[in-house]
Every structure is written in structure tokens, then in C-alpha cells.
């Protein structure tokens, strides 16, 4: 029985397993959509009742899924405290914590229902590919993030010294200049805080050129890693097919 349940819940190789995945994914999307509708003011009581009943149905399915995963897990505590185990629990916990209580006092728990979106990581092969890609470039991304933070700070310091004397309100301190730094280095350029001195504008031009690289470098790293992840995935599928043919 455990092997049969595992072939449905954990595997996508069987027809039942694929249908199970599709049903769970659909319920996740529909539950998030229902959660969004609930925020509409002056909602018709009939619709509210339908949404509540649908929430109960979703919770029942997700709870059964969570218990089944604990049942088929070889190391049950390891699954419970794993990333997916915690996400699965958080996806259903708000309902049970707020059940029978005044929802106004535990309204913040309803926000945790958005964690159901993270459940999709388990079922989507593209997301798994992204996860593998990020693992491959984890060290590079950490190094780049550190360099980016240094650039954010140095650019805030630079623009502060150029603009503080003429715009003391907009660039009152390095902390207030950090907003300009973030907007400029990310090339968003809202225009709410802009330099007016010649030195400040020249400095801004240099920071903008650096900002283009700030965006381009991680994009190239991720693109390269995704290509490699796809190759690894293809090799794994070929090996699985060879094993099946051998059997």
C-alpha cells in the first residue's frame, strides 16, 4: 500500500502521479485566486459562503496530502522539518489556528496562505531546474551580492558629497542618499530625487553605466546555469530511460 501511494504522491512517471500533480497545482492556483477575491469589499454573502466552503475543501485535500507524505516518508521527522514539509504545514496551518476564533485577532495568519504558492516548487520541473541552476551559481551570486551592496553604499556616499550642499533636503544624509543609489543602480530612475550639480550629473552617468552591468552580470550567470541545468536534466532522463530499457 505504501509503495502504491508513493507512486502516486511522489512520482510523475505514473499516469496517476501526473494527475495527482495536476490536481494539486490547480487547487493551489484556485485557492490563491479565492483568497484574492475575499479581499474585495462588500462581497455578496452567497459568494463569501462559496469561498469558505471551497477553502474547507482545499484544506481537506492539502491535509490529506500532507498526512500521506508523512506516511510514506522513510524518515518522518526529517520530512516534517524539511523545506517542503514546513511549506506543506504552513499552507494548512492558518485555517486550523483561526478555526472557531475571531478572525480579526488572527487575520495576519491568513497571509500565510500565500505560502501555498511555494508548494508549486514540488510539482514544477521548470522551477526545479531554476533551483538546480541557483545551486550551481550560489557562490557567484553571493559574491556578486556583496559587491553590489558595496557599490550601493559607495554611490550613496558619492552623491551625498556632490549634492548635499545644494539639496540638503533631498540628500540630507548618506541614509537618505541610499534611495537614490538603489533607484539609479537598478536603472529604474523614478526621478523623485535627481542631481542638479555638474559633478553630481557626471557621477550619475558613471553610476548608470555601472548599473547596466549590475543587471547584466547576474542575468548572464543565471542564463548559463539554466542551460547547464537543462543538460544535466536531459542526461538524467536518458539514464533513466536506459535503466528502464535494461529492465
Min mean pLDDT across 68-72, 204-208, 235-239 is at 235-239
3-state secondary structure of 192: coil
pLDDT digit string, tens, across residues 35-64:
888 878 888 999 999 998 998 998 899 999
Confidence of residue 105 (pLDDT cuts 50, 70, 90): very low
Contact in structure between 91 and 69 (CB atoms under 8 Å): no
Residue predicted with more confidence, 12 or 90? 90
CA distances 56 to 49, 94, 95, 139, 207, Å, are 11, 12, 8, 43, 52
Contact in structure between 127 and 121 (CB atoms under 8 Å): yes
User: From the CB of residue 13, how many other CB atoms can be counted at a distance below 10 Å?
Assistant: 10
Tell whether the model's pLDDT for residue 106 goes beyond 50. Answer: no
What's the CA gap between 95 and 4, in Å, rounded? 30
Q: What is the mean pLDDT of residues 151-160?
A: 90
Q: What is the mean pLDDT of residues 4-20?
A: 81
Helix, strand, coil abundance in the chain, percent, nearest 5: 80, 0, 20
Contact in structure between 25 and 123 (CB atoms under 8 Å): yes
What's the CA gap between 53 and 36, in Å, rounded? 15
pLDDT digit string, tens, across residues 120-149:
766 666 677 777 788 888 888 888 888 888
Tell whether the model's pLDDT for residue 30 goes beyond 50. Answer: yes
pLDDT digit string, tens, across residues 87-102:
888 888 878 876 655 4
Nearest to 203 by CA among 151, 242, 247: 151
Q: What is the mean pLDDT of residues 17-30?
A: 86
Q: What is the mean pLDDT of residues 157-179?
A: 90
User: What are the residues whose beta carbons fall under 8 Å from the beta carbon of 117, sequence distance 6 or more?
Assistant: 28, 32
* CA pseudo-torsion sign 56, 62, 64, 67: negative
Residue predicted with more confidence, 84 or 166? 166
What is residue 114's predicted lDDT score, i.e. its pLDDT? 63
Above pLDDT 90, what percent of the chain? 13
Contact in structure between 152 and 145 (CB atoms under 8 Å): no
Residue predicted with more confidence, 177 or 129? 177
Mean pLDDT is highest, among 95-99, 104-108, 169-173, 237-241, for 169-173
Contact in structure between 155 and 179 (CB atoms under 8 Å): no
- Going along the chain from its start, the domains and CATH numbers come out as 2-123 (1.20.120.350), 136-246 (1.10.287.70)
Contact in structure between 189 and 179 (CB atoms under 8 Å): no
Q: What is the mean pLDDT of residues 161-176?
A: 89
C-alpha cell at 176: 537618505
What's the CA gap between 167 and 159, in Å, rounded? 11
Q: Give the helix ranges, DSSP H, for 165-197.
A: 174-185
Nearest to 13 by CA among 243, 227, 246: 243
Amino acid at each position: 500500500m505504501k509503495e502504491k501511494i508513493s507512486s502516486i504522491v511522489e512520482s510523475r512517471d505514473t499516469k496517476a502521479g501526473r494527475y495527482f500533480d495536476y490536481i494539486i497545482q490547480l487547487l493551489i492556483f484556485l485557492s490563491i485566486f479565492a483568497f484574492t477575491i475575499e479581499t474585495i469589499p462588500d462581497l455578496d454573502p452567497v459568494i463569501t459562503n462559496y469561498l469558505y466552503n471551497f477553502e474547507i475543501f482545499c484544506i481537506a485535500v492539502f491535509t490529506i496530502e500532507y498526512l500521506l507524505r508523512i506516511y510514506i516518508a522513510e524518515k518522518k521527522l526529517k520530512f516534517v522539518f524539511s523545506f517542503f514539509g514546513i511549506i506543506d504545514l504552513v499552507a494548512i496551518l492558518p485555517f486550523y489556528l483561526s478555526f472557531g476564533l475571531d478572525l480579526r485577532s488572527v487575520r495576519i495568519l491568513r497571509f500565510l496562505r500565500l505560502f501555498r504558492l511555494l508548494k508549486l516548487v514540488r510539482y514544477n520541473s521548470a522551477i526545479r531546474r531554476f533551483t538546480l541552476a541557483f545551486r550551481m551559481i550560489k557562490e557567484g551570486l553571493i559574491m556578486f551580492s556583496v559587491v553590489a551592496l558595496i557599490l550601493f553604499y559607495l554611490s550613496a556616499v558619492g552623491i551625498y558629497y556632490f549634492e548635499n550642499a545644494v539639496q540638503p533636503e533631498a540628500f540630507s544624509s548618506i541614509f537618505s542618499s541610499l534611495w537614490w543609489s538603489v533607484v539609479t543602480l537598478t536603472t529604474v530612475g523614478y526621478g523623485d530625487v535627481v542631481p542638479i550639480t555638474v559633478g553630481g550629473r557626471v557621477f550619475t552617468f558613471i553610476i548608470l553605466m555601472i548599473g547596466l552591468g549590475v543587471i547584466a552580470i547576474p542575468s548572464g550567470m543565471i542564463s548559463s546555469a539554466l542551460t547547464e541545468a537543462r543538460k544535466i536534466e536531459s542526461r538524467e532522463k536518458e539514464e533513466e530511460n536506459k535503466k528502464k530499457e535494461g529492465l
